[in-house]
Amino acid sequence: MPHSPASSRSVAFDDFVLARSAGLLRTAYLLTHDHALAEDLLQTALAKAWFAWERIDQHEAYVRRILVTTYATWWRRRWNGEHATDELPEQGGTPDQAEAVGQRHDLWTAMERLPRRQRAVVVLRYFEDLTEAQTAQVLGCSVGTVKSQTSKAFAKLRIDPSLAPSPRTSLPETETEDRS
Which tens digit of pLDDT belongs to each residue from 34-56?
A: 899 999 999 999 999 998 898 88
The parent domain of residue 154 ranges over 114-164
pTM: 0.56
CATH code of the domain containing 58 = 1.10.1740.10
Domains of the chain: total: 2
Residue 1 falls inside a structural domain = no
Reported as a single tens digit per residue, the pLDDT across 110-169 is 888 889 899 999 999 988 889 999 999 988 999 999 999 999 999 998 888 877 765 543
> What is the DSSP secondary-structure string of 66-113?
HHHHHHHHHHHHS--S----SSPPP--S-HHHHHHHHHHHHHHHHHHH
Residue 60 falls inside a structural domain = yes
Domain shared by 24 and 73, yes or no? yes
| Cα separation, 1 vs 177, whole angstroms | 100
Residue 180 falls inside a structural domain = no
Q: Which helix (H) or strand (E) holds 164?
A: none
Q: Which helix (H) or strand (E) holds 144?
A: helix 143-159
Domain shared by 73 and 13, yes or no? yes
More confident call, 172 vs 72: 72
pLDDT at 113: 86
- Find the mean pLDDT for residues 10-34: 90
More confident call, 90 vs 1: 90
Domain shared by 69 and 121, yes or no? no
- Exposure pattern of 150-161 as b/e (b: 16+ CB <10 Å)? beebeebbeebe
Cα R_g (the chain), whole angstroms = 23
